[in-house]
Amino acid sequence: MSRLDIERGVVEMAHGSGGRASAQLIESLFIRHLDNAWLRQGDDASLFDVGAGRMVMSTDAHVVSPLFFPGGDIGSLSVHGTINDVAMSGARPLYLSAGFVLEEGFPLAGLDRIVASMARASREADVPVIAGDTKVVERGKGDGVFITTTGIGVVPEGVHISGDRAEAGDMILISGHIGDHGTAILSSREGLEFATAIRSDSAALHELVAEMVNVAPEIHCLRDPTRGGLATTLNELVRQSGVGMQIEEGAIPVRAEVRGACELLGLDPLYIANEGKLICICPAGVAEKVLSVMQAHPLGRDAAIIGKVVEDERQLVTMKTVFGGLRVVDWLAGEQLPRIC
């Protein structure tokens, strides 16, 4: 079978037809980058083994704009995002599947770059993509590339992590600076260019989670604060658990560049998306131990304890400001930053 002209070619409707052109695209681009024993089975579904334990599955659609941004692109983001969703249950991610919706006319060189990035992220995380699908939509009916990834994993025995397990007296930890991803996306958008050295924090967090769970299997909640940022995620956990939360503004790590960009654009860093951070809620008795493990890991070196869980029938998230005031941190109303992940 002849190879694609990736350097000069574009996505054509025939590449989604299921015929020879589809097979050529799969062989010359997707298999070339993502090759592994499961994909090479060549069947409609991949057969794989799993270890003992409870299985988890998560799926996520990625529609980020622009497709390439400081610190990442839609390919690596689609791997990291789903690995993190699986890991937030305390699970060890095992496999991914990927679905691509491509727009007619999209450059094959751009697609090649995206899939290569996806393959690199998958290899680095040791979580292979073992199944996939490709569809092509007509020119003007898409926006280049959309990717949906699904991941499965296994939760170790003795680990019970869920958003409804926060208890009054628990401590709230964050793994590092918030708002890097959303700020990086904004800095690369047409018409919104502003000078910043901020790069997306997009990263796979499962190894960090494994070390945390290993020293403290009694962790109650884990959640990656993506869309809606830290504020919205805490509100989600408050609602699920039926508690209140109090956080300290001065304890929350925010880079000066992110704070400056937010002031410039009239945004609140508490609501800016992250793609390589996690929130941990755990009993107070193990909080310092968990914090030490987080700070010893490259992806958690700036981790901090930022607040505590309290009894509150109103189920509010409140924040003590650096000026000593008390502010209600409400749900995000509407869409502060569209198409960020």
Using the predicted structure, report yes or no on whether residue 333 has a pLDDT greater than 80: no
Report the C-alpha dihedral over residues 295, 298, 169, 249, rounded to 10 degrees. 90
Same domain, 14 and 147: yes
Q: What percent of the chain has pLDDT over 70?
A: 98
Concatenated DSSP letters for 116-179?
HHHHHHHHHHT--EEEEEEEEE-TTSS-SEEEEEEEEEEEPTT----TT---TT-EEEE-S-SS
Give pLDDT, residue 2.
Answer: 66
Same domain, 17 and 150: yes
- Of 283 and 339, the one with more pLDDT: 283
Residue 160 in domain: no
Residue 239 in domain: yes
Residue 85 in domain: yes
Give the domain-ending residue among 155, 188, 203: 155
Same domain, 267 and 310: yes
115 token code pair: 């899939």
Same domain, 196 and 292: yes
Q: What pLDDT, in 10s, does the model give residues 96-139?
A: 999 999 999 999 999 999 999 999 999 999 999 999 999 999 99
Rounded to whole angstroms, the Cα distance separating 173 from 9 reads 48
Average pLDDT for 141-147: 95
Residue 248: HSE in the Cβ half-sphere, 13 Å Cα cutoff: 10
Give pLDDT, residue 50.
Answer: 84
Same domain, 116 and 190: no
Pairing of strands 317-320, 244-248: parallel
Same domain, 141 and 182: no
Give the domain-ending residue among 155, 189, 219: 155
- Of 3 and 21, the one with more pLDDT: 21
Using the predicted structure, report yes or no on whether residue 182 has a pLDDT greater than 90: yes
Give the domain-ending residue among 155, 185, 213: 155
* pTM of the predicted protein model: 0.95
Number of domains present in the structure of the chain: 2
158: number of Cβ within 10 Å:
9
Q: What pLDDT, in 10s, does the model give residues 214-261?
A: 999 999 999 999 999 999 999 999 999 999 999 999 999 999 999 999
- Of 175 and 18, the one with more pLDDT: 175
Same domain, 21 and 79: yes
Using the predicted structure, report yes or no on whether residue 341 has a pLDDT greater than 90: no
Using the predicted structure, report yes or no on whether residue 1 has a pLDDT greater than 90: no
Residue 119 in domain: yes
Rounded to whole angstroms, the Cα distance separating 91 from 40 reads 26
* CATH code assigned at 211: 3.90.650.10
Give pLDDT, residue 191.
Answer: 66
Q: CB under 8 Å to 300, separation ≥6 — which residues?
A: 175, 176, 208, 293, 294
Same domain, 212 and 303: yes
Averaged pLDDT of the chain: 95
* CATH code assigned at 40: 3.30.1330.10
Average pLDDT for 14-42: 93
Same domain, 175 and 110: no
Q: What percent of the chain has pLDDT over 90?
A: 88
Residue 305 in domain: yes
Give pLDDT, residue 61.
Answer: 97
Residue 341 in domain: no
Same domain, 251 and 309: yes
Domain span at residue 98 reads 10-155
